[in-house]
Amino acid sequence: MLVKFKVAAVKKPHAQSLHSGLENPELRIRSRPGNKLIFSSRDNRRGFRSLRGPLQVPRLEPAPESRPPRLRCAVIDVQTPVRRRIEVHALHNFERTISKANATHLIATYLASVEEIENSLGDHKVLDLLKVLKREAVGAGPYPHVTMFEAANRILSDLVILYGVKWLLDHDIFPFERYEVEYGNEDKNGFDICAAGNGKALAGEAFNVAPSFFQTKKCSTRKKLAESRADFKIIMFNHDAVKLSYAPKPTKNEYFVFVQVGTGDSHMVPRFACEPNSSLPDWL
């Protein structure tokens, strides 16, 4: 049986179309009824293995006008979402209840963990050094999975808590035998420092900042403590964040604790009668 083909030029409907010629599905749908070539893709035509292969005579299939256009669907393999890594650091099992019995041991253990951080900064130019501080994990110490920049912020704030709470316990500033604390960026109790007993409750926030950032941090801390109904609200910070002449004006039930990290000399405003006078500045 001899079959004749009639070849006609077909103009593309749009210059930017991704399809061409008879591969254009719109042209395929609107074409006249009769025998025609039906291609499923450029490299998978019926009767062809590839455009680069030998030319073969394609099969002819009737294409009634009522037949809907053929559609291809692809199966997309949706990968299981990767679970967010839970940060586990050296403080994972560190004691979070501080009392007179363990305060000194906790400080010594924490300092020993900090000493594990080696000075890996090396000899860098200024820009390279900044990248190391902000991008490379320290690999040791209380927070091995964070950068040196982030580790410094967390460690210095933790030391304010450890030395500050020890000072409160040593001098029986408040009527509590133990304090519950949070390290780093933990937020399970709502506040960095909590205590309860004898019908009273305490809530406190602690931080270690440069003088240029003290006012900003103090304002945000006071706003957070204002939401608490605790009987005692303490703002604990490094003593060198302010000048020696700094005189805070605490509101009702609010106390400022000036902590000297590394020593036992700290003081509080307003002061309690049991507070030692040796650590107080002259204006008190």
Q: 253-283: per-residue pLDDT in tens?
A: 999 999 999 988 899 999 765 556 555 555 4
Long-range contacts of 149-155 (CB under 8 A, 24+ apart): 151/117, 153/208, 154/183, 154/184, 154/185, 155/114
For residue 219, is it left (φ>0), alpha (ψ between -120 and 50) or beta? alpha
Largest Cα–Cα separation, the chain: 117
Predicted local confidence at residue 50, as pLDDT: 47
Residue 58 or 247, more confident: 247
What whole-number distance in Å separates Cα of residue 276 and Cα of residue 270? 13
- pLDDT, one tens digit per residue, over 104-113 is 999 999 999 9
Tell me the percentage of the chain whose pLDDT exceeds 90: 50
Predicted local confidence at residue 205, as pLDDT: 98
**C-alpha triplet 235, 238, 242: angle, nearest 5°:** 90
Range with the lowest mean pLDDT among 48-62, 73-87, 229-243? 73-87
The residue-averaged pLDDT of 186-196 equals 95
Residue 11 or 115, more confident: 115
* DSSP reduced 3-state for 196: strand
Cβ atoms < 10 Å from Cβ of 168: 27
- CB contact set of 175 (below 8 Å; sequence gap of 6+): 197, 198, 200
Residue 63 or 234, more confident: 234
